[in-house]
Structure 1
């Protein structure tokens, strides 16, 4: 229903400007109505914006064809799946952060430690190292090392095995350890 409503609206193209935005809003509205919920945890609109080139290609192909929309529906459902997966990833980060702060509510942390932990828990790219810590909060490498050592002693950071130089750390969220990926690992 959502895929067809969106397609029909953008094919009719009733306005000079804003048809895509309104079409994506219609698609999101149709999806939220099918869930019988006031809350929708994913957005097809956001995912379509991320996949704009593919979107325009399949839209053009569908509009210039013989009114066969099967390929459009397949693309749209795949787009919706990617949207749900992205939402799942986002909600997992939020949940991990909530669990982390719940588990460490009584732990005394400095302002620098709070800043860097929140940064990495929010998905900051790059590995958590003393060098990156020092650069991020503009302190000396020795101060960064002391901050990190304190967090290791408190059981918040876990040095990752197999590193002799440039040790990097994972954040203990609960029983699991969140390892921050390098940009090339993303």
Structure 2
């Protein structure tokens, strides 16, 4: 028996309808060809990786995570953090690549494989294997036991049941089904390490299989990373300290619906920001190659640029260029007063000058006030 959601009430259905309205509008905008869409997708993916890993204590700057997402070395992150980011990138990339396949199914083997991709940098994590005994989640500050995973003898059967639930074509609300998959994996806690990351990856897998809007844009991992204490609290409330699938999951469903609503609102604002940013940069720098505009877009928002990441950004923009061309481009942007170089040789990176930063500050300063009221308050 797994945790199940109760029948949705009127308020929950109303929030779902609001999320769906935002999703449809976002799909319309994001499916149209825009020059800024590539940057938005790349940084959204990086924010998802950053959010999910920060919950587990693997903290990194957005530009370092974006570099890892592009297959490049980060500037500042520790070796362990880099490996954790790379593992999560690999697992999520596999999910995104396979989700559209007609024969793609969730299975115990798939879940173990994703876990291996995610945590295989250390054999101490038992990558790709169920845990060997009991497991407890403790509050870091006090060492108080917050949750005990399901009995180890029940793990194989519960995980098979969870895979079957993900494959079930019953007419469940997609966001609720994804949330319940996430909740069940966390509560079973089938692995020695990486259970939270696996649960969030599984939630994205469920979203990806629907195909309405890429989970790169529908994921709530960034929101969870920014609200990790509330995330921990609702899991503790619903779980009750041990595997108890008969407990009510209403608080969890409402938490995840609120997360989706707020994350969709954030993405809607970023779409508007991206369009205004691109126009503002074009007004500032005049006619430039698209790869240069995309790089200046990142720098204006405070990200550090390197030659290696510039080459990847250029490829994303449709330009296959040499390292020499990349170096000339960056020098031209420095000479024009838009970028400042720092460091030497392999450690060299570029940041926006105050002139370029003003474009982003102007966009951010002119945003409308966002309504972040609790949709379930009252």
User: Offset of 1:25 from its aligned partner?
Assistant: 1.1
User: Offset of 1:37 from its aligned partner?
Assistant: 4.5
Distance in 1 between the 2:237 and 2:268 partners? 31
Superposed counterparts of 1:89-128, under 5 Å: 89-106=269-286, 110-111=336-337, 115-123=353-361
* Deviation string, structure 1 residues 38-66 (Cα, Å, up to 9, x no partner): 56324211111111111111101111174
Work out whether 1:18 is the aligned partner of 2:160: no
The residue that corresponds to 1:34 in the other structure is 210
Distance in 2 between the 1:101 and 1:179 partners? 16
Q: Which runs of 4+ in 1 moved over 4 A?
A: none
* Deviation string, structure 1 residues 106-149 (Cα, Å, up to 9, x no partner): 38x950597224323345xxxxxxxxxxxxxxxxxxxxxxxxxx
Secondary structure in 2 matching 1:41: helix
Secondary structure in 2 matching 1:68: coil
Give me the CA root mean square deviation: 2.9
Work out whether 1:73 is the aligned partner of 2:253: yes
Superposed counterparts of 1:1-186, under 5 Å: 1-38=177-214, 40-64=216-240, 66-106=246-286, 110-111=336-337, 115-123=353-361, 171=362, 179=365
The residue that corresponds to 2:21 in the other structure is none
Q: How many residues align?
A: 128
Distance in 2 between the 1:68 and 1:97 partners? 45
Whether the aligned pair in 2 keeps the contact of 1:28 and 1:45 (CA below 8 Å) is no
**Structure 2 unaligned spans of 5+:** 1-176, 288-334, 340-351, 368-378
Distance in 1 between the 2:214 and 2:255 partners? 26
Whether the aligned pair in 1 keeps the contact of 2:207 and 2:215 (CA below 8 Å) is no
Whether the aligned pair in 2 keeps the contact of 1:27 and 1:45 (CA below 8 Å) is no
Structure-2 change in CA distance of 1:117 and 1:28 (3 Å): farther
Distance in 2 between the 1:28 and 1:10 partners? 14
User: Offset of 1:87 from its aligned partner?
Assistant: 1.8
**Structure 1 unaligned spans of 5+:** 124-170, 182-186
Distance in 2 between the 1:99 and 1:84 partners? 23
Structure-2 change in CA distance of 1:95 and 1:54 (3 Å): same
Structure-2 change in CA distance of 1:24 and 1:54 (3 Å): same
Report which of the two structures shows the higher radius of gyration computed on alpha carbons: 1
Distance in 1 between the 2:360 and 2:192 partners? 39
